Amino acid sequence: MTEQTLAPPTEQAPDAPAKAPWTTLVVVGVAQLMVMLDSTVVNVALPSIGGDLPADQTGLQWTISGYVLMFGSLLLFGGRVSDVFGRRRTFLTGLTLFAVASALCGIAGNQELLVAGRAAQGVGAALLSAAALSIILEVYQDEEQRKIALTAWSGLGVIGATIGVVLGGLIVTAINWRWAFLINLPVSVAAFVGALRSMSPLRTASGRKLRFPSAVVSTAGLAALSFGLIRLHEGFGDTTAWISLGAAVVLLALVTFMELGKDDPLLPLHLLRKPTYWLSSIGLLLVASVMISSSFLASMYFQQVHGMSAFVTGLSLLPMGLAALVVAMVAPVLAGALGLGGMYAVGATLQLVGAGVLATGTDSVWLTIVALAVIGAGLPACFVPLFGIGTSHVKVEESGVGSGLLNTFNESGAALGIAVIGTILATSVDGRLKEGASAADATTSGVANGFLALAVCSAVAIVIALALRHLTRDEQPAAA
């Protein structure tokens, strides 16, 4: 038996699909890179923002959380919008909103306007990102092209998130924090023009409804989930966080009940019945937690333990991004040689090794940089196969909601990772300070405990990878 490689077609058409031009991939890839950059580029700019506006700690937190909240809660709905109203139209709408919101952030004169702009960015990013993946699934029907396209799309997302801190540090040091947002404007204009010139309107599913009541309930449920995870930053004893998470459970259970038995559901429950899809979804949740939390912990370690500036911190994280870039470039080769499940197992193992080294609480900057590079190498080796396996059973007509749900797990994982790891870090640091440790030693211990938790996540991911490897090995003969 041979293992599944990347997103095999569920049915063999009598005639092989025609190959599509790569210009569409370039356009959606650039837009996805920009969206993922914005998820981390602001992190190192927060001190400059706080001193310039000025903004208090709550305002600074919501500069990040407002983006995460809107992005995570609207991905599923954004996928449905792209299915009903058209993928290019949704992509262009999201891109335009993202650009306008970026301009608003760049000229903001107070923290309220900045937070509002970041929330609007999240809305635009949700529409753009959900439409982008569904565009790839519809445009690239040829198996080899889809393999390359999915690899590039997921690889660019990883690279964007990992080099965002580097770019943020460079912009803050060399220019001004406002350009962390204003830099999106020329990129957005170029992507918009490119989409109009190179991307066909793509078909719209005639007769399909937006299912607005279900959309409202599901969006409210996902918003409550995101808000609860954000509030967990305050600690596991935060009552508001648990009330919000409880509301999320109720609302998501309600929308599940509302969608049962529907011929054209907003929530693709039939996909969640497929082991490869729900295992891929959980895998995305775990690897997103590792990706975002690793950058967060490393930034805290470099700045608070070793006193590095934002720019030097960004440079220290650069090898992590470069390692991700190298592996992303050879991902199709790895997928062909190892199979998707095998590639995912290797990626999760690399993350376990890197996180395990950092869980020892090393004082060595160079060892930390090397271990982070190992984690970075594992990121595309996880994201590429997970998106490939997860989308392999998604029909073209439901590629919006199918990809939107995968992205929702991905974004929820990022929020969950920061919530849990941030709480572990804060609790560990407070405990060590009470014992009389210095701030640097306390932070080192807290960072080590955070990476220990990420090592556990990576170990769970290895189990999922082995299960997916077994399932995809069994699927290949049937698909042949």
Query: What tens digit of pLDDT does each residue of 387-443 get?
Result: 888 888 777 666 767 777 787 888 778 777 877 888 888 888 888 888 888 888 998
Residue 285 in any domain: the answer is yes
Residues 6+ apart with CB under 8 A from 9: 141, 143, 479
- At 403, list the tokens: 């990809």
Whether the pLDDT of residue 260 is over 80: the answer is no
CA 195, 386, 221, 457 torsion: positive or negative? negative
Same domain? For 340 and 444 the reply is yes
What is the rounded distance in angstroms from the CA atom of residue 368 to the CA atom of residue 301?
Answer: 9
pLDDT value at residue 153: 77
Confidence of residue 222 (pLDDT cuts 50, 70, 90): confident
pLDDT value at residue 91: 92
Same domain? For 471 and 375 the reply is yes
Across 323-341, average pLDDT: 85
Same domain? For 26 and 123 the reply is yes
Look-up: residue for tokens 């974004």?
Answer: 411
Domains held by the chain: number: 3
pLDDT value at residue 476: 46
Prior bond to 54 cis, omega within 30? yes
Residue 4 in any domain: the answer is no
Q: Which of 176, 200, 224 is the last residue of a domain?
A: 200
Count of other CB atoms within 10 angstroms of residue 315: 17
pLDDT value at residue 409: 84
Residue 13 in any domain: the answer is no
- At 271, list the tokens: 């996909």
pLDDT value at residue 105: 93
Same domain? For 161 and 241 the reply is no
Residue 275 in any domain: the answer is yes
Same domain? For 38 and 98 the reply is yes
Same domain? For 274 and 360 the reply is yes
pLDDT value at residue 32: 83
Query: Is residue 425 within 8 Å of 305, Cβ to Cβ?
Result: no
Same domain? For 274 and 252 the reply is no
Whether the pLDDT of residue 121 is over 60: the answer is yes
Q: What is the pLDDT of residues 355-371, one digit of tens each?
A: 999 999 988 999 999 99
What is the rounded distance in angstroms from the CA atom of residue 333 to the CA atom of residue 383?
Answer: 15
Q: What is the pLDDT of residues 193-211, one digit of tens each?
A: 999 988 877 666 556 676 7
Q: What is the pLDDT of residues 2-58, one digit of tens each?
A: 445 554 444 444 456 678 888 888 998 888 888 878 777 777 777 778 888 877 767
Residue 11 in any domain: the answer is no
pLDDT value at residue 357: 96
What is the rounded distance in angstroms from the CA atom of residue 115 to the CA atom of residue 105?
Answer: 8
Residue 124 in any domain: the answer is yes
Across 246-256, average pLDDT: 89
Provide the terminal-to-terminal Cα distance of the chain, rounded to the nearest Å: 11
> Measured at the alpha carbon of residue 375, what is the angle toward residues 130 and 476, in degrees to the nearest 5?
60
Q: Which of 152, 173, 200 is the last residue of a domain?
A: 200
pLDDT value at residue 13: 45
Q: What is the pLDDT of residues 78-120, one digit of tens each?
A: 888 888 888 889 999 999 999 999 999 999 988 889 999 999 9
Eight-class DSSP state of 178: T
What percent of the chain has pLDDT above 70? 90
Residue 427 in any domain: the answer is yes
Residue 240 in any domain: the answer is yes
- The reported pTM is 0.79
Average pLDDT score, the chain? 83
Same domain? For 78 and 149 the reply is yes
Ramachandran sector of residue 274 (left: φ over 0; alpha: ψ -120 to 50; beta: rest): beta
Q: Which of 171, 200, 229 is the last residue of a domain?
A: 200
What is the rounded distance in angstroms from the CA atom of residue 418 to the CA atom of residue 424?
Answer: 10
Whether the pLDDT of residue 262 is over 90: the answer is no
pLDDT value at residue 346: 95
Confidence of residue 140 (pLDDT cuts 50, 70, 90): confident
For residue 257, what are the domain limits? 212-263
Same domain? For 364 and 383 the reply is yes
Same domain? For 145 and 273 the reply is no
Cβ burial 436-455 (10 Å sphere, 16+ → b, else e): eeeeebbbbbbbbbbbbbbb
Same domain? For 318 and 355 the reply is yes
Same domain? For 167 and 222 the reply is no
Whether the pLDDT of residue 59 is over 80: the answer is no
What is the rounded distance in angstroms from the CA atom of residue 275 to the CA atom of residue 272?
Answer: 7
The amino acid occupying position 115 is: V
Query: Is residue 406 within 8 Å of 7, Cβ to Cβ?
Result: no
- At 179, list the tokens: 């350009």
Eight-class DSSP state of 360: T
What is the rounded distance in angstroms from the CA atom of residue 61 to the CA atom of residue 71?
Answer: 16
CATH number of the domain where residue 472 is located = 1.20.1250.20
